[in-house]
Amino acid sequence: MRKLALAALLLFMPAAVLAEEAKDMAKNPVIEKRMIALTSKLRCLVCQNESLAASQAGLAKDLREEVREQMIAGKTDKQITDYLVARYGDFVLYDPPVRSYTLFLWGGPFLFMLGGAGILAYQLRKRRKAVRAPELDAEAQRRAAALLEGKEK
């Protein structure tokens, strides 16, 4: 019986934890939708592979609350993002801005594409040489013509 009670407790515990945030959600669905949309584009600083919207880390919850409050206070998404970047750096952004140290990140694919195009051009040129029809001398020309006309077997 006690085991069963414990199992039930464990089963409903996550629901109880989530309910805390669900209350906020019911209170202001418009803000909540905006908050989720914005925090989905931001990285959780604790788990780092989860978005701020998805993370259950304590800090992520606090930051969501902060975002929520700033939205209610009428701040724009840009202002809130800037607020977070000022504290946590560009690292919170899943979409990294173009900076001197992200140039390779943004330019890299084009470099690789250029490199690929170069290799392709080189290979094509090599291949064209390799498959160029061999020159026929006069004798071969004569035989070829005869073959085409069916005079020779």
Partner 1 sequence: MMRYIVPLVVFLALVGLLYTQMESGIDTHLVPSPFIGKPAPAFALPQLLEPSKKFTPADMKGKVWLFNLWASWCESCRDEYPLLLDIAQNQHVTIVGLDYKDKAADAKAWLAQAGDPYALNVTDVEGRIAIDYGITGVPETFVIDKHGVIRYKEVGVLTPDNLKNKILPLVAKLEQET
Query: For 51, phi and psi rounded to 5 degrees?
Result: -80, 165
In angstroms, what CA-CA distances link 5 with 10, 18, 53, 54, 136? 9, 20, 32, 29, 94
- Tokens at 110, concatenated: 């084009």
Q: 88 to 117, contacts with partner 1 by CB under 8 A? A: 88-89, 91
Q: Is 59 in the site for partner 1 (CB under 8 A)?
A: yes
Residue 4 or 86 having the CB closest to partner 1: 86
Q: Which uninterrupted H or E stretch holds 22? A: helix 2-27
The least distance separating partner 1 from the CB of residue 141, rounded to whole angstroms, comes to 37
The least distance separating partner 1 from the CB of residue 115, rounded to whole angstroms, comes to 12
Q: Is 63 helix (H, G, I), strand (E, B) or coil?
A: helix
Q: Is 82 in the site for partner 1 (CB under 8 A)?
A: no
Question: Which listed range, 31-39, 60-68, 105-113, 122-130, lies at the site for partner 1 (CB under 8 A)?
Answer: 60-68
Q: E strands, 13-138, where? A: none
Out of 13, 22, 33, 62, name the contact with partner 1 by CB under 8 A. Answer: 62
Alpha-carbon distance of 31 to 15, in angstroms, equals 22
Residue 69 and residue 60 in contact, taking contact as beta carbons nearer than 8 Å: no
Tell me, residue by residue from 3 to 42, as one string, x for binding to partner 1 by CB under 8 A and - for no binding: ----------------------------------------
Q: Name the residues that contact partner 1, by CB under 8 A.
A: 45-46, 48, 58-59, 62-63, 66, 85-89, 91
